Amino acid sequence: MYSKDLYSIEEARELLGGISRNSIYHLLRDGKLASVPIGRRRFISAAAIEAFIQATTTTEAPEPGHSRFPRRRVVQMRLGLKAPIVARSRGHRPES
């Protein structure tokens, strides 16, 4: 299935369906995906990718009501309501 023994982080992301950079580093940090450090770089082996896929593959359906959106947001969307606007700071300070 795989053509090389070791893949860069970017290549491994693509092999795992194009997951985000944060997601792959989260998997590495949690020990769910093994890596091989070489010098200052980190590589993912084809065997580690295959093991991760085998370990996380499921045949069960998602839990009923499970959604990436909180329940309130789903109800708001169904009713055609706009979500409240929440101001978030981006590190900018108002000028004095």
Structure tokens at 69: 């959106």
**CA dist list (Å): 33 to 23, 36, 47, 50, 75:** 11, 10, 10, 10, 36
Cβ contact 12:50 at 8 Å:
no
How sure is the predictor about 87, in pLDDT bands with cuts at 50, 70 and 90?
low
Tokens of 87: 């101001």
Architecture of domain 6-56: Orthogonal Bundle (1.10)
Spatial contact of 45 and 5, defined as CB atoms under 8 Å apart? yes
Each residue's pLDDT tens digit, 20-68 = 999 999 999 999 999 999 999 999 999 999 999 999 888 877 676 665 5
What pLDDT sits at residue 57? Answer: 87
CA nearest neighbour of 35 among 4, 21, 27, 14: 27
